[in-house]
Amino acid sequence: MLVRKIIIALMAVAFAWNSAPVFAAAEPDVIYFNGRIATLDATGTTVEAVAVTDGKFSAVGTSDAMKKLAGPATQMIDLSGKSVVPGLIDGHTHPVEAVRMKEKWVDARFPGVSSVRQALENVSARVKITPKGEWICAAASSSSENKFVEKRLPNKKELDTVAPENPVVFLNGTHAAVVNTLALQKMGVTKGVTRLKHGGIILTDDKGEPTGDLIEAEGDVPDSPTEEELVRYFSKDIPELWNQNGFTSVLGITNAQTLPALNKVATSGAVPTLRYTAPVWTDPAGKLLPEDLATLAISKSADSAWFRTGGIKVWIDGEPDARTGAVYEPYLGKFPGDFPGGKGILNSTQEKADQLAAHTDGAGLMSLFHCSADHSTDIGLNAYEKLLKAGPRKNILRLEHFGDFMMTKEELRRAVAMDIKVSVQPAWLTNLAKSNYENLGKERANTSFRFREMIDAGLEPSGGTDVTGIYLVNLNPFLHIWAAVTRHSDMGIFQPEQAITVLEALKMWTIWAAKAMGEADVKGSIEPGKYADMTVLSEDIFTMEKEGLKDVQVLKTIVGGNVVYQAAQ
């Protein structure tokens, strides 16, 4: 047996293409052959087959070479000539919220719901089957005030009319909301109160009466899943939903209250099908972070191949789609839910951002700053610059949604110079380009979604769906790839000169996402020693017509060498 193991190891070295990896001595558990496999290794190798041992790639090469490694117990799987890419990584998403909204919330999402009238009808229908006094939550798309035919949101009075005996929260994306009178009462809001418990802002009229408009109140929405529901989400619903879209890993941002359930799943001994890196947010301004950030870590007894502590996410501002992104110059026009002054909102001062960056990195955790507009991005960059001047960083420093809505050349230069990792959401071109123009005007909006410029400057942007349940369609990674490559948007072809290649777009969802998570040594490409994660596609995305990219289907999702999702035949 020892001789056989040595022979197998020598054969793997002889037949593998490129590099000189370390191979497992044991015979492979499974060999996938007869495929067109884009490894995304340093030389861009394409191979026919891979061998998997103990959940990791042990060799790559030709089908004939890999077959010679097989032992009596090796499983042989024919890829039938299909195109295969490294397992896709969702580099910024909110799985708990997505499953919750999909399962429980009233649907008020554009374009399926195109008007205030229709949205109110949907809330009214839910009232009829909801006991009096119970909360009703509705999910509407970001910038619904731009998208609904009435060019506004439902107001407090209208929600009172359709739901006089139920508290109602009507989310306009995740950064703004309208609530009815009973909801205000349940939240303890009275005349003159302008802040909620977890930092949400209450807008008032000139007499100090609450208007029903809330800003950055996501931490105060009273819809908390039970631990039993959360265990189901983490163990079943989230993996199933992400696996069927080709994802093998997620950077799943969650709140601290979900950690007990996540740790319960992580230490249950069950075999997972999705790798979960879990940054934590506690409230928009980071005010409720504990002094000891170790209390927010994933259990040490969990297998780090599947569950990892991700770091701390802090909202420096809101987002331009909700007119809450912190801008230097006011938004165009005026809406009832605008923050006074019309320049959005800063959840964090520069001093607070400096403290949070130092506190998080000092604990050896990844720092994730949500900065969506010009003012907030400068605050995030300033905080990181101060941190780096004080000494070497201990972990990755990130800016979430960098350049999605606004990006100055100086901000890009600084991000590259400091090696800041950035997360982008290309499919927002199809959801939010038009409203960005309406909110910011042509000059500022033209600085958005400039992926070609980012990459040429040296950034390697990580793709993230940022799915919260608001835009469920954005869970399709090929919608993002299509948008980044073709520049299709909800206002036509948007800045075609900013188009990137299919290979670059794929890297956003594989190796660049892995780098932005600090996990490129174990995932993001198909190379011996890395986790055996792959996604099998219906088309060869490198040779097909670009217009069809959004319609590419996932045929198989493979995690740790095991098929965890297979499309119906």
Q: What is the CATH number of the domain that holds 203?
A: 3.10.310.70
Check which CATH number belongs to the domain holding 449 and give it: 3.20.20.140
Residues 448 and 324 in one domain: yes
Pairwise CA distance, residues 249 & 515, whole Å: 13
Q: Token pair 């009973």 is at which residue?
A: 182
Q: How many residues does the chain have?
A: 569
Residues 112 and 216 in one domain: yes
Contact criterion met (CB below 8 Å) for 190 and 371 = no
Output the pTM of the full model: 0.91
Contacts of 422 (CB under 8 A, 6+ apart): 398, 399, 400, 402, 403, 415, 454, 459, 461, 462, 516
Asked whether residue 502 is domain-assigned, the answer is no
Asked whether residue 259 is domain-assigned, the answer is no
Cα–Cα distances (Å) from 104 to 114, 133, 139, 173, 243, in that order, read: 20, 17, 10, 16, 21
Pairwise CA distance, residues 213 & 220, whole Å: 13
Supply the DSSP string of 324-373, one letter for each residue: -S--SSPPSS--TTPPTTSS--BSS-HHHHHHHHHHHHHTT--EEEE--S
Contacts of 55 (CB under 8 A, 6+ apart): 305, 531, 532, 560, 561
pLDDT of residue 25: 52
Asked whether residue 226 is domain-assigned, the answer is no
Q: What is the CA radius of gyration of the chain?
A: 24
pLDDT of residue 138: 92
Residues 454 and 332 in one domain: yes
Q: Which of 172, 198, 220 is the last residue of a domain?
A: 220
Residues 199 and 322 in one domain: no
Residues 142 and 80 in one domain: no
Q: Give the number of domains in the chain.
A: 3
Beta bridge partners of 201: 195, 215
pLDDT of residue 218: 76
Residues 344 and 417 in one domain: yes
Residues 14 and 125 in one domain: no
Cα–Cα distances (Å) from 30 to 34, 66, 85, 310, in that order, read: 13, 10, 17, 31
Q: Which of 172, 202, 220 is the last residue of a domain?
A: 220
Pairwise CA distance, residues 24 & 470, whole Å: 44
pLDDT of residue 282: 74
Q: Mean pLDDT per segment of 10 residues, for the chain of length 569 residues?
A: 39 39 68 98 96 98 97 97 98 95 91 94 95 92 88 94 94 87 90 81 88 83 89 97 98 93 96 96 74 91 96 93 95 89 93 95 96 98 98 97 98 98 97 95 97 98 93 94 98 98 98 98 98 98 98 98 95
Pairwise CA distance, residues 289 & 514, whole Å: 26
Contact criterion met (CB below 8 Å) for 150 and 169 = no
Residues 321 and 445 in one domain: yes
Contact criterion met (CB below 8 Å) for 558 and 533 = yes
Residues 342 and 410 in one domain: yes
Asked whether residue 160 is domain-assigned, the answer is yes
Residue span of the structural domain in which 125 resides: 106-220
pLDDT of residue 10: 40
Phi, then psi, of 523 in degrees rounded to 5? -155, 175
Asked whether residue 6 is domain-assigned, the answer is yes
Q: Which of 459, 478, 499 is the last residue of a domain?
A: 459
Residues 331 and 215 in one domain: no
pLDDT of residue 284: 67
Asked whether residue 508 is domain-assigned, the answer is no
Asked whether residue 365 is domain-assigned, the answer is yes
First to last CA, the chain: 40
pLDDT of residue 176: 84
Residues 66 and 138 in one domain: no
Residues 451 and 328 in one domain: yes
Asked whether residue 262 is domain-assigned, the answer is no
